[in-house]
A and B are shown apart, each in its own frame.
Chain A
Amino acid sequence: QKEVEQDPGPLSVPEGAIVSLNCTYSNSAFQYFMWYRQYSRKGPELLMYTYSSGNKEDGRFTAQVDKSSKYISLFIRDSQPSDSATYLCAMSATGGSYIPTFGRGTSLIVHP
């Protein structure tokens, strides 16, 4: 079992839809959770990061962490064609080497 599981997709939605992207993990030591957006042929761009459980909102994006279920989500409201990209989750345990463990990414396509 991989430490971080993420459905590769592609996930195809119409413009304006609410998108839910998810990751599950097995390491209960993970405390720090990140979401990245990666456009084709570009480097990953940090979207949001959260510490421990709870929600964090930034504009159309909401990150949610459920540590009891070892499950994290990224919600995108009012999705736009410009949101079409691969979304990677990443997580780290506090202390230690600060090397995050990445999911393999979910490809999102928002069609007009």
Chain B
Amino acid sequence: DVKVTQSSRYLVKRTGEKVFLECVQDMDHENMFWYRQDPGLGLRLIYFSYDVKMKEKGDIPEGYSVSREKKERFSLILESASTNQTSMYLCASTGLYEQYFGPGTRLTVT
């Protein structure tokens, strides 16, 4: 079974802090993704990566950056957290076409 893990289930940070969200997959998938999910807005793509050190902007990259130094690991960075970044963050990796998601990180910025 594919396993995607995320470093934290719940996180509380203060405005202005730098926040790191880590994601690891164990299926040797090349493609990895970061989404945020908000009520009524569905899943929105922040960034994705085709390969190590490769990254592409999604639909809402502002205020975020990513890092992919190893194939199995994809990190999302909030450079200076703001209250409007309070959300559920979901990491995914892709097999052929289907995506496998991690359990999610519920981030609250106060």
Is residue B45 within 8 Å, beta carbon to beta carbon, of the partner chain? yes
Q: Interface residues of B toward A: which range?
A: 20 to 34
CB pair B104–A43 under 8 Å, yes or no, is: yes
Partner of A100, one of B99, B103, B106: B99
Set of chain B residues within 8 Å of A34, measured between Cβ atoms: 97-99
- A94 nearest CB across to chain B (Å): 7
Once A43-B103, A99-B45 are accepted as A-B contacts, the answer to whether A94 and B90 lie under 8 Å apart by CB is: no
- B50 nearest CB across to chain A (Å): 8
CB pair B42–A44 under 8 Å, yes or no, is: no
Set of chain A residues within 8 Å of B102, measured between Cβ atoms: 43
Is residue B101 within 8 Å, beta carbon to beta carbon, of the partner chain? yes
CB pair A99–B101 under 8 Å, yes or no, is: no
Within 8 A of A (CB), among B28-55: 31, 33, 40-43, 45, 48
6 further interface pairs, Cβ-Cβ under 8 Å (given A45-B101, A90-B99, A102-B43): A34-B99, A41-B104, A42-B104, A46-B99, A97-B56, A98-B97
| Interface set of B (CB-CB < 8 Å, partner A) | 4, 31, 33, 40-43, 45, 48, 56, 88, 90, 94, 97-104, 106
Sampled A-B contacts (29; CB under 8 Å): A32-B97, A34-B97, A34-B98, A41-B104, A42-B103, A43-B4, A43-B90, A43-B101, A43-B102, A43-B104, A44-B90, A44-B101, A46-B99, A46-B101, A49-B98, A88-B42, A92-B97, A94-B97, A97-B48, A98-B31, A98-B94, A98-B97, A99-B45, A100-B97, A103-B42, A104-B40, A104-B41, A104-B42, A105-B42
| Interface set of A (CB-CB < 8 Å, partner B) | 32, 34, 36, 41-46, 49, 88, 90, 92, 94, 97-100, 102-105
